[in-house]
Amino acid sequence: MPRLQRALLGRLETLPGVDRAALADSLPFYAYNVRRNLIAAGQAPVVRGQEPLAQTAFVSPGFFTALRLPLKQGRLFPPASSPEDPPEVVVNDALARRMWPGEDPIGKRLRFLDNDQWLEVVGVVGEARMAVNLSEPDTRLQAYRPLVQDPQHFLAIVLRTSLAPESLAPAVRKIVAALDADMPVAQPDSMRRLIGQNLANLDLVVANIGTFAFMAS
C-alpha cells in the first residue's frame, strides 16, 4: 500500500492547477472518524474511563499544508516517511495545552489506550475546524499519525487547487483507474450542495474515491 500511495500522490501533484495533494483515512467534515482515549508518559494516573479523548487520523505528509493547518511548534512528518520510522505523532495545540500546560510538548510521549505503543510528539499544529458540524464537538483534541505506518483500506484524497475543484474530478478518476482499475470511485459532488448554502463561504468540493476525495481552492 505505501507504494500505491506514493504513486497516487506523485500523479495527483502533477495535475495542472494542483498546489498540494495528500491522503488521509478521515477528513474534518463532521469530525474525524475515530476518537481514542489517551494517556501521557510520566503523568499521574487518570481514573479509568476519564482519560482525555482525542480525534485521530492517519495522514500523508502534505495533509497539513493542503488543509492549511499551521505548524505551531516542532516539525511535520517528513516526505520520506517509512513504516520503519520510530512511532511519532503530531498533535493540535488544544491537545498540547491539555496534556502539558506550560511545557514544551515536543519530545513528550503519549499512547492511546487501545495500543501499547508509545508515540513521540514531533509537532504541534492548529485546530482543524469541522466543516459541517457547527455544534460544540465532544472533543477539540486532535492527533495525527503517519499514514505510511498504518495503511488503510479506505482513503480520502485531499487536493488544494487554484482551479474549479469540480473540473479535476475526471482527471482524478483516470489516475486512480490507471493505478488500480478495481478501486471504487464514487460520483463526485459539490460540498456546497452537500452542506447547504449556509456554509457557502467554504470553497470546497467532495468526491468519493475509495471513500472520498476532498478538494479545496
Q: What is the DSSP string of 42-73?
A: TSPPPPTT-S-EEEEEEE-TTHHHHTT--EEE
Q: What is the pLDDT of residues 164-175, one digit of tens each?
A: 777 888 888 888
Q: Hey, what amino acid is at 30?
A: Y
Q: What is the mean pLDDT of residues 22-35?
A: 81
**pLDDT at residue number 3:** 80
Q: What is the dihedral of CA 170, 176, 178, 181, to 10 degrees?
A: -110
**pLDDT at residue number 135:** 56
Rounded Cα distance between 200 and 1, Å, is 36
Residue of higher predicted confidence among 211 and 44? 44
**pLDDT at residue number 183:** 74
Name the strand (E) or helix (H) holding 154: none
Domains of the chain, by residue range, sit at 2-25+152-216, 34-149
Rounded Cα distance between 119 and 197, Å, is 41
**pLDDT of 29 higher than 80:** no
Q: What is the pLDDT of residues 84-124, one digit of tens each?
A: 899 999 999 999 999 999 999 999 999 999 999 999 999 99
Q: What is the mean pLDDT of residues 63-72?
A: 92
Mean pLDDT score of the chain: 81
Residue of higher predicted confidence among 145 and 195? 145
Topology classification of domain 2-25+152-216: Beta Polymerase; domain 2 (3.30.460)
**pLDDT of 52 higher than 80:** yes
Of 17-21, 123-127, 154-158, 162-166, the poorest mean pLDDT is in: 162-166
Place of cell 472518524: 33
Q: What is the mean pLDDT of residues 36-42?
A: 94
Rounded Cα distance between 96 and 98, Å, is 5
**pLDDT at residue number 137:** 61
**pLDDT at residue number 138:** 64
Q: What is the mean pLDDT of residues 144-171?
A: 81
SS3 at position 124: strand
